[in-house]
């Protein structure tokens, strides 16, 4: 019984710590010809850091993810030799004439 309570308390603490880290939603894309393992490595790092891959694109090499600033820096460093582009996911409007 004491072990179960301690485990539950530890699990609750872990969830609260992960929830306290502010996350951004970003679009991460790579140039045509980038090996698939590069994208897979980036996605694994995002999940490892407590982030989430929310959508994968089929026409371009990229995906939408929600992750911490530290995880963004890690993905940027991993993809620097492959030309990774990381930009904030935001709504785009056009001016109607």
Quote the pLDDT of residue 21: 64
Predicted confidence at residue 3, as pLDDT, reads 60
Element (H, E) at 28: strand 23-30
Choose among 54, 78, 53, 51: nearest CA to 67.
51
Percent of the chain topping pLDDT 70: 85
- The overall pTM is greater than 0.75: no
Percent of residues, the chain, with pLDDT higher than 90: 57
Q: Which residues of the chain have pLDDT under 50?
A: none
Looking at domain 22-88, what is its CATH homologous superfamily? Peptidase S8 propeptide/proteinase inhibitor I9 (3.30.70.80)
* pLDDT score, position 55: 94
């Amino acid at each position: 019984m004491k072990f179960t309570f301690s485990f539950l308390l530890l699990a609750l603490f872990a969830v609260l710590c992960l929830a306290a880290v502010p996350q951004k939603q970003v679009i991460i894309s790579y140039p045509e010809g980038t090996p698939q393992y590069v994208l897979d490595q980036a996605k694994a790092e995002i999940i490892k850091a407590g982030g989430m891959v929310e959508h994968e694109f089929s026409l371009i090499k990229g995906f939408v993810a929600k992750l911490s600033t530290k995880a963004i820096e890690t993905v940027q460093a991993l993809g620097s030799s492959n030309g990774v582009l990381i930009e904030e996911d935001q709504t785009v409007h056009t001016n109607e004439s």
